[in-house]
């Protein structure tokens, strides 16, 4: 048996996790939200909440990153049944790529139809400012270029087809609703649209890497999101993504700027209310 098939979760394990959760909640969720670094406050918006720490859920991985609470929160948001993931899993934590995406397949088996992903990202586009919120229109899967794709290995047709399309990864109709929500909430002055690029991390990018990513057409760069989106589309979920621009990447060798995680968390605290209002208003429109 190959290493890639050994580290994969089986359908039965995903179903066991989903059934365990379904037996403990009163309503099936239709919307799932994955909260990025410092953005776990989105879960606080849910009403009639039921909370499950990751360590209590069968087969579930554990989150180890500062700014990630590590729990699933079920509840109601603007009349919609939602599940919120407070703390995602990252490749750089030492998890293999199929473990990182395990929750998405569980969401699919719970009955989720729409996945909203949020992340903290560095701004590559020189027109972007710290605190901008970027609607993700497309992505560049750098780990995928190196063979780290969560769909590698045997395909299980119960989840999706062998060769899923990714040219429509991000739902245009939901993005349009988000723009409407931003207009109604007075958020358009810092709303952007662009391409998100994922690198594996945990190092922030070198100057040469940032310049290369700009040439490739990336507007923002981070260390998450893309694997979950790939698996969500494989399962047939509709996807909407937001990046909070927490720092501007360094592209000048004479610059004294240095990217750091504390700056990332500080910016999310500054913009978290706006992001929460935007997501909440969007969910109400779905």
**Confidence check: pLDDT of 244 > 80:** yes
Average pLDDT over residues 240-263: 83
| 105 CB-near residues (< 8 Å, 6+ apart) | 9, 14, 159, 231, 235
Q: Single out the catalytic residue among 223, 228, 234, 243.
A: 223
Tallying the residues shown for the chain, one arrives at: 286
Burial 130-156 (b: 16+ CB within 10 A, else e): bebbbbbbbbbbbbbeeebbbbeeeee
- pLDDT at residue number 3: 41
Query: Catalytic residue at 121?
Result: no
Query: Catalytic residue at 247?
Result: yes
What would the two tokens of residue 82 be? 């939602």
pLDDT in tens, 17-28: 999 999 999 999
**Residue 56 DSSP class:** G
- On whether the CB atoms of residues 108 and 235 are closer than 8 A, the answer is yes
pLDDT band at 157 (very low <50, low <70, confident <90, very high): very high
Using the structure block, give the residue that is written with the tokens 């040469």: 208
Is residue 62 classed as helix, strand or coil in its secondary structure?
coil
Whichever domain contains 145, its CATH number is 3.40.50.1580
Residue scoring higher pLDDT (283 or 8) = 283
Average pLDDT over residues 42-57: 92
Query: Catalytic residue at 5?
Result: no
CA–CA dist 3, 5 (Å, integer):
6
Is residue 252 classed as helix, strand or coil in its secondary structure?
coil
**Confidence check: pLDDT of 74 > 60:** yes
**Confidence check: pLDDT of 121 > 70:** yes
Q: Single out the catalytic residue among 43, 85, 90, 95.
A: 90
- pLDDT at residue number 65: 65
Q: Single out the catalytic residue among 175, 224, 228, 281.
A: 224
- pLDDT at residue number 9: 81
Average pLDDT over residues 49-54: 95
Nearest to 39 by CA among 62, 21, 65: 65
Looking at every residue in the chain, the average pLDDT score rounds to: 90
- The domain of 266 spans 3-285
Query: Catalytic residue at 281?
Result: no
Q: Single out the catalytic residue among 16, 92, 166, 280.
A: 92
**Confidence check: pLDDT of 5 > 70:** no
Average pLDDT over residues 251-274: 77
Count of domains for the chain: 1
Ordered alpha helix ranges (H), 217-257: 226-234
**Residue 232 DSSP class:** H
pLDDT in tens, 177-228: 999 999 998 889 999 999 999 999 899 999 999 999 999 999 999 999 999 9
Strand partners, 221: 122, 197
CA–CA dist 224, 237 (Å, integer):
18
Query: Catalytic residue at 261?
Result: yes
CA–CA dist 267, 166 (Å, integer):
31
Q: Single out the catalytic residue among 13, 261, 263, 280.
A: 261
Average pLDDT over residues 278-282: 93
- On whether the CB atoms of residues 272 and 148 are closer than 8 A, the answer is no
Query: Catalytic residue at 63?
Result: no
């Amino acid at each position: 048996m190959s290493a890639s098939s050994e580290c994969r979760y089986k359908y039965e394990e995903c179903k066991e996790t989903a059934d365990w959760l379904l037996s403990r909640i009163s309503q099936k969720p239709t919307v799932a939200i994955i909260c990025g670094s410092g953005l776990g406050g989105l879960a606080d918006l849910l009403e009639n909440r039921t909370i499950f720490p990751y360590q209590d859920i069968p087969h579930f991985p554990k989150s180890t990153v500062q700014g990630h609470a590590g729990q699933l929160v079920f509840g109601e948001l603007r009349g919609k049944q939602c599940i919120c993931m407070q703390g995602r899993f990252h490749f750089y934590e030492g998890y293999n790529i199929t473990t990182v995406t395990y929750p998405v397949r569980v969401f699919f088996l719970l009955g989720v139809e729409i996945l909203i992903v949020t992340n903290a990202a560095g701004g590559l586009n020189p027109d972007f400012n710290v605190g901008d919120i970027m609607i993700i229109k497309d992505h560049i899967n750098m780990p995928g270029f190196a063979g780290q794709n969560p769909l590698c290995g045997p395909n299980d047709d119960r989840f999706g087809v062998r060769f899923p399309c990714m040219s429509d990864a991000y739902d245009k109709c939901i993005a349009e609703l988000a723009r409407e929500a931003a207009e109604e909430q007075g958020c358009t002055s810092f709303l952007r649209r662009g391409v998100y690029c994922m690198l594996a991390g945990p190092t922030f990018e070198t100057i040469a890497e940032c310049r290369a990513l700009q040439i490739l057409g990336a507007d923002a760069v981070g260390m998450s999101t893309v694997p979950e989106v790939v698996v969500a589309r494989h399962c047939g979920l509709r996807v909407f993504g937001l990046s909070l621009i927490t720092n501007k990447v360094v592209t000048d060798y004479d610059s004294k700027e240095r990217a750091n995680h504390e700056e990332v968390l500080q910016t999310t605290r500054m913009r978290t209310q706006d992001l929460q209002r935007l997501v909440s208003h969007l969910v109400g429109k779905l």
